[in-house]
Structure 1
Amino acid sequence: MSTPSLQRRLGLVQATALNMIDMVGIGPFVTLPLVMGFMGPNFLLAWLVGAGLALADGLIWSELGAAYPEAGGSYRFLKLAYGEHKWGRLMSFLYVWQTLVQAPLVLASGAIGFAQYFGYLVPLTEWWQPKLVSGAVVLLLIILLYRRIEDIGKLGVFLWIGVLSLMGWLIFGGLTHAHHEVAWLPTGGAAALPGVLLSAAMGQAAVKTIYSYLGYYNVCHLGGEIQNPQKVIPRSIFLSILGIMALYLLLNWSVGTVIPWQEVKALQAGGAGAVADKSQFIVSLFVERLYGPVAAQAATGLVLLVAFASLFAVLLGYSRIPYAAAADGEFLPLFGRLHPTKNFPHVSLLILGGVGFVFSLLFRLGEVISAILAMRILVQFVGQAVGLVLLRRRRGAASLPFRMPLYPLPVVLAVAVWLLIFYSTGPTFMLSGLAVIGAGLVAFLLWSRRLGRWPFER
């Protein structure tokens, strides 16, 4: 009997679909009013900043993903960049360690957001009712993902169609019912841009928009299951970013032309009476204002479909990371097991999904968005960008199947903006991110001592 192995059966359409549904999720629907509250008339600029960072960072992911298309994504990149036997082991271990915490947090954030919008359809008045909904969502995801990768690719395309249908409907509503102007430049024009871009409000808003763009790299986690990865991975990353950027800008413009930012701020402050209860359902309120309550209920149902589709892609991609580390002998062997007939990392899927289920019962949405970013920035995003520079110096760029234009400017830009975003998460979340890194360092030293590996080589 042959040994189970990952199969390369995802093409460009399926890879792009899984990326895009990962990116959309519940993020833009719950962060849209928050960004308006932070930025006022300049809210569109925050979404452009998020897109700019995604494009710069996408160049880093594309170069690494095309050159090293294997399961695990950042785990593999960090190990190769910093040296497979010493510092690369530490960096890749820290990344997997963080994944055991932040992947379930990402899963929980989407499930909690799902429950929040579900409350528009069915009022959830008791404290335990939203937790019941979010927990049930995670359990259903595990059941749906417990199957072969080619079946998942087909299901991903179906869910992608649901994403595009919802966004298209919302954008069409704004285009045909615009009543208010939405500014693309701040008051004072281009001369005022530096002040707005470097403001504290922009930092807080950018944390929310970047959270909503995350996922453009999901295809790299599935590198061992992508057909013709040298071409498909970079193409799927940029098709995803550009497509989602256009959808987000049009969505925000559409909502802003019907529900002006002044009214959104009033809703958040509770200044509109009973309507204030609907401030967290801005998309539902938007559709209700255009087409009535029945259409709003249908739109809310589509939001829930999109949120579920995103979590589907999130858990799929993250379940491959501990598997890749364990298959390398650098993490607990339990995570390296593949299903004997369906050829997917079922133990990793069950553990991450199970922890995500627990987190969905414990935390609130507002607590996890900043924590997710603060936890990931230093090791994954900044560490990976610096690692690309180290790889280029050590191995050269001549053999790379994809090379970013204007190197190293995209790397410098990405690192600078990521560090600003880390600072913008605030002292509490910065410390929580550093605490997870510290705990991971202790775990790495204990693990290495047990195995007799660096820095405890015998």
Structure 2
Amino acid sequence: MTVPAALPGPGSDGPHPDGTIRQIGLAGALSANLLNMIGIGPFITIPLALAAMGGPQALLGWLLGALLCLCDGFVWAELGSALPRSGGPFHYLREAFGPAKLGRLFGFLYLWQTLLIGPMSIASGTVGLAHYATFLWPALTGWGIAALAAGVCLLNTGLLWRDVRSVQRLSVAVSAIVIGACLWIIVSGAFHFDAARAFSFPAGAFSPTSAFWMGLGAATLIGVYDYGGYNNVCMLGGEVREPRRTIPRAVLISIPLVATLYVGLNLSILGVLPWQQAMKSQAVVADFMQVIYGHAGGVIVAVLILIASWASALVVLLGYSRVPFTAAVEGEFFAPFARLHPRGRFPTVALLFMGAASAVACLVSLDNLIAALIVVQTLFQYTAQCFAVVLLRRQKRPDAASGFRMPLYPLPLVVTLIGWLFIVGTSRPIHILGGIAAMMLGTAVFLGLARRRASWPFER
């Protein structure tokens, strides 16, 4: 069957059936991922990882997190290539599990989850930004931190009220600045690196005790949070040019690139600051640069980190605003969320909702935002997507035959599932129970709506 010129297929570069336009190339797709990944995360979580494991052996968490994310990246690359549509996982789960039956529940649960974790993800970046701003503005405390974080969320909502092409140009420019800043930090540390200080492991650092495994789980969770964002291009699938090639390349290039930067950052800091001091720091990178270059060096790097965290939150908001939009286009969410700006062709109601909800989420503490974010995603979406790859392959979709296929299948799926189970199993019970409760409530809401509509599983 031929596709009408006005409604090209998902792999073409013309206007998409949902009204968006494919105008993001590889540079824009890669920068969208990199800006999401290289945000405030590592600059504020390095002390948390060191404290979780009680020493520089926390590097294991970063390495294990990188391996897990690379395997999960193969999952995202294959799914994004097979179904390159805005809102990514909403379509992956619906199509894999059957759009007429169980896939409807899974698609709805992903949407439900996104309404929770989307604002938390955005807020974690802006709350981290506000905490880091205290290095420049020590009087900023308490409600002032929350107000600054919420203000950045609202500012970004206004900045995204435009054609996506201008955002693409901005993301490419800021990506260059962020990567340049990371390289400056790494090179500075290399010239002052003290191996004895960097690898001063405490006694029993690698003893396989329960405390070691719990600490490794916490450090890996932090690493996964900091690497998170390699899937951002999948949320924008309907706006990506040559998506079957561009999406996998953007995902699989961004992970090793950022992993190299993060391991370099960790080693640079540990080689200059004693880990006992680093794990208690509120602005560890600024403190590190201050040791090398004095106060001016700390101020300069603090400003660069604030720029990175602002841009990261901007791109995360861009990606998550597309999820309720595409669900509404599919008729699975409130119709107003399907509205597009008449000139800029960007979602309006969906963008406003995510911006406002993220501002409210800034009232939650940073550590709880990070833990809840990862556990909720892991309990449902990340594990379900592994099975989605298997189910889509069994469907033998003709449009996916020319797309990306993960190497060594199904080994990456097995490693990914084991990694997610390890993270959940070593998490705090309150976050696990909260994630389960959120999914149960979402299921109840879905069943209530299905009964009202007399749709699956209540068809007449």
TM value normalised by structure 2: 0.92
Stretch of structure 1 that moved more, 398-407 or 304-313:
398-407
State the SS of the aligned residue for 1:147. coil
Matched residue, 1:273? none
Matched residue, 1:327? 329
Matched residue, 2:375? 374
Structure 1 letter corresponding to 2:184: W
Shift of 1:378: 2.1
2:221 to 207, 210, 214: 207
Shift of 1:127: 2.6
State the SS of the aligned residue for 2:403. coil
Deviations 1:295-347 (A, max 9, x none): 11111000100101110110001111111111111111121111111101111
Question: Is structure 2 residue 114 aligned with structure 1 residue 99?
Answer: yes
Matched residue, 1:123? 138
- Matches of 1:239 and 1:196 in 2, distance apart? 35
In the TM superposition, structure 1's runs of 4+ consecutive aligned residues that sit over 3 Å from their partners are: 1-4, 180-189, 192-198
Structure 1 letter corresponding to 2:346: F
- Are the counterparts in 1 of residues 18 and 329 from structure 2 also a CA contact under 8 Å? no
Shift of 1:183: 4.2
Distance 1:368 1:4, change over 3 A: closer
Shift of 1:180: 3.8
State the SS of the aligned residue for 1:216. coil
- Are the counterparts in 2 of residues 385 and 415 from structure 1 also a CA contact under 8 Å? yes
- Matches of 2:224 and 2:203 in 1, distance apart? 24
**1:358-437 alignment, distance < 5 Å:** 358-360=360-362, 362-395=363-396, 399-437=401-439
**1:258-273 alignment, distance < 5 Å:** 258-265=272-279, 268=280
- Are the counterparts in 1 of residues 38 and 226 from structure 2 also a CA contact under 8 Å? yes
- Are the counterparts in 1 of residues 18 and 326 from structure 2 also a CA contact under 8 Å? no
Structure 1 letter corresponding to 2:150: G
- Matches of 1:186 and 1:72 in 2, distance apart? 46
Shift of 1:220: 0.5
- Matches of 1:185 and 1:238 in 2, distance apart? 33
Shift of 1:193: 9.4
Matched residue, 2:237? 223
State the SS of the aligned residue for 2:277. helix
Matched residue, 1:78? 93
- Are the counterparts in 1 of residues 62 and 263 from structure 2 also a CA contact under 8 Å? yes
Distance 1:395 1:412, change over 3 A: same
Matched residue, 2:10? none
- Are the counterparts in 2 of residues 4 and 343 from structure 1 also a CA contact under 8 Å? no
State the SS of the aligned residue for 2:271. helix
Matched residue, 2:442? 440
Matched residue, 2:26? 12
- Matches of 2:238 and 2:119 in 1, distance apart? 22
Matched residue, 2:71? 56
Matched residue, 2:12? none
Matched residue, 1:179? 194
State the SS of the aligned residue for 1:329. coil
1:452 to 439, 451, 454: 454
Stretch of structure 1 that moved more, 382-391 or 178-187:
178-187
1:339 to 335, 338, 341: 341
Matched residue, 2:177? 162
Shift of 1:262: 3.1
Matched residue, 2:260? 246
- Matches of 1:208 and 1:371 in 2, distance apart? 12
- Matches of 2:84 and 2:18 in 1, distance apart? 19
Stretch of structure 1 that moved more, 153-162 or 117-126:
117-126
State the SS of the aligned residue for 2:458. coil
Structure 2 letter corresponding to 1:206: T
- Are the counterparts in 2 of residues 4 and 339 from structure 1 also a CA contact under 8 Å? no
Structure 2 letter corresponding to 1:257: G
- Matches of 2:386 and 2:402 in 1, distance apart? 16
Shift of 1:427: 0.5
- Matches of 2:299 and 2:121 in 1, distance apart? 26
- Matches of 1:384 and 1:193 in 2, distance apart? 34
Shift of 1:169: 1.2
- Are the counterparts in 2 of residues 37 and 264 from structure 1 also a CA contact under 8 Å? no
- Are the counterparts in 2 of residues 180 and 260 from structure 1 also a CA contact under 8 Å? no
How many equivalent pairs are there? 443
- Matches of 1:419 and 1:80 in 2, distance apart? 25
Aligned-residue identity in percent: 40
Distance 1:297 1:403, change over 3 A: same
Q: CA RMSD in A?
A: 2.3
Stretch of structure 1 that moved more, 448-457 or 294-303:
448-457
- Are the counterparts in 2 of residues 4 and 341 from structure 1 also a CA contact under 8 Å? no
Distance 1:294 1:218, change over 3 A: same
Shift of 1:447: 1.6
Distance 1:302 1:403, change over 3 A: same
Shift of 1:186: 10
Shift of 1:198: 7.2
Shift of 1:109: 1.0
Stretch of structure 1 that moved more, 80-89 or 194-203:
194-203
Shift of 1:393: 2.0
Unpaired segments ≥5 residues, structure 2: 1-5, 7-14
Matched residue, 1:298? 300
State the SS of the aligned residue for 1:120. coil
TM value normalised by structure 1: 0.92
Question: Is structure 2 residue 31 aligned with structure 1 residue 30?
Answer: no
- Are the counterparts in 1 of residues 340 and 347 from structure 2 also a CA contact under 8 Å? yes
Structure 1 letter corresponding to 2:166: D
Shift of 1:367: 1.4
Distance 1:185 1:76, change over 3 A: farther
